[in-house]
Amino acid sequence: MVGTTDMARPPTVISAKGVPSSREIHPYVRIQPPTHLDDDTKRFLTQMQDAVAAATSPARSDTTMQGVIVQSVNFTGTAKAPVLVTVRHNLGQAFAGYRCTRAYAGSAPFAAVEVANNGGKDVNVYLVLSSTAVGVFDIEVFSG
């Protein structure tokens, strides 16, 4: 049987040491109907797969599912002295957005904004934030 991948990959998780995790969700796969089936059954199975593909297309093409989660990013800013935090995402293309996905115990509320012109760093590799937050956070960076 032949299958084709039809789904956007879920976010890759990058540990504090910069190592991607091996945890992955299996994508939607199309399977060719077996040759021993009659034409009506083959057509029915193909139509079912087409219906599933159409119904799940919005979720599979969601740009927020095409990104990375960078774990344990340390923020040390204060309200009076914001600091620049560089997040290495390595998407290979410009990021479309970001969000905080986890605040570790003892962290203040997440507060950060993008730096103008990404602080002069390559948007295909880095996200530069100006932050007043103090704590350790997981940051998801997604492409568009």
In DSSP terms, 4 is beta-bridged to 30
| Reported pTM | 0.62
Measured in degrees and rounded to the nearest 5, phi and psi for residue 95 equal -75, 150
Contact 96, 82 (CB under 8 A): no
Query: Which of 141, 136, 139, 138 minimizes the C-alpha distance to 74?
Result: 136
Specify the pLDDT at position 12: 58
Specify the pLDDT at position 27: 60
Helix (H) / strand (E) element for 30: namely strand 29-31
Specify the pLDDT at position 99: 92
The residues of the chain scoring below 50 in pLDDT are 1-8, 20-26
Specify the pLDDT at position 18: 55
Structure-block tokens of residue 85 = 């935090």
> How many whole angstroms separate alpha carbon 144 and alpha carbon 140?
13
Specify the pLDDT at position 68: 87
Over residues 13-38, the pLDDT tens digits come to 555 555 544 333 446 678 888 899 99
Specify the pLDDT at position 53: 83
Specify the pLDDT at position 4: 41
